Amino acid sequence: MTVRVLVVDDSVVVRRLVTHALAADPAIDVVGTAANGRLALAKIEQLAPDLVTMDIEMPELDGIAAVRALRAAGHRMPVVMFSTLTERGAAATLEALSAGATDYVAKPTGAGSVHEALGRVAAELVPKIHALVPTRLGAVRGRPAAAAGDTTRPSTRGPVRLRPASLRATPVRLLVLGASTGGPAALAEVVGALSSPPAVPVAVVQHMPAVFTRQLADRLDRLGPATVVEATDGLALRAGHAYVAPGGRHLTVVADRTGLRARLTDTPPVNYSRPAVDVLFRSAVAALGGAVGAVVLTGMGSDGAAGSGAVADAGGHVVVQDEQSSVVWGMPGATATAGHAHAVLPLHEIAAAMERMMSEGLR
């Protein structure tokens, strides 16, 4: 059984490009295309795809409105937006994610050839499809697939091994968060659920390009009591604030006689990512030892697992999002099954867990 994909874009060139890029994977079947959101809604009812790729700017009904209509009609299949790496494209993509889109990929602007463009689309999109529709892909590889209409999410990793909670001897001086696929919506829920400005600084890595992280920080700043900004090099980290790592640069934390500061570096990607969660988490331990609380939210891959291990080994506390509420249980699952997490919680309980970590450190 293959993953059934509907490709939605007003450009016939892009529709053909995406279709050809996905055709090379035997586990993926492009079952149809549509030139705008209105046609896409009809095709979805007709074809029942497992996943939809959606352009943003289209005539008659744009991608954001189409996503809202899909979710209002009760459709829960993943929707991956096709975005441009511009300020306008970033704002529209984040709006689509807020409307219920699952993730996004960047359009291959500036590609030197059709072959290069195909390669870029395949490299970006195929792994996301594999992560977002895992039960169908399991059947292609010889594992049982979920029955039609089954909304359960069987674990895709080994058993969780929680670390026992310990009495905290060191006050929490910093919270660090990491997220990837599904992260913008998860971060919005966490930040919006905080009951008061955080009692310690909060540093955040979300896997996103540079122009997107600036827009993400601006959106998060409007949602809750924390002041959220994109981090800059040398910026003093203060309570009441959250600092989002800029896309394309690693965010690290250093301690000096005046307190904590952000340092941005251009060292090579870690776990194929820059910024990387592991880089932030390890720097927090280097600066503060066990005075760190760490949170790993939804995301592909395993970034954050090694860094969480460093936090836990130093005496800090690690919380991860559970599988049921994660878009992809890659990063939190890797941390939990490695035995680095003290708690595995649904998304709606993460903000309260953060506030408990901060209050324990202030007693």
Query: What amino acid positions are annotated as catalytic residues?
Result: 180, 207, 303
What's the CA gap between 11 and 35, in Å, rounded?
A: 7
* Residues contacting residue 113 through CB under 8 Å, at least 6 positions apart: none
* Residues contacting residue 226 through CB under 8 Å, at least 6 positions apart: 191, 194, 197, 198, 202, 220, 240, 241, 242
Amino acid of residue 288: L
Backbone φ/ψ region at 259: left (φ over 0), alpha (ψ -120 to 50), beta:
left
**Residues 80 and 103 sit within 8 Å (Cβ to Cβ):** yes
Q: 203 forms bridges with which residues in the sheet?
A: 176, 243
Burial class (CB in 10 A: 0-12, 13-18, 19+), 12: exposed
What's the CA gap between 98 and 120, in Å, rounded?
A: 26
What's the CA gap between 336 and 2, in Å, rounded?
A: 30
What's the CA gap between 81 and 132, in Å, rounded?
A: 13
Sheet containing 317-321: which strands, arranged edge to edge?
227-230, 241-244, 202-206, 174-179, 292-296, 317-321, 343-345
- How far out from the chain centre does Cα 322 lie? 14
Q: 242 forms bridges with which residues in the sheet?
A: 202, 228
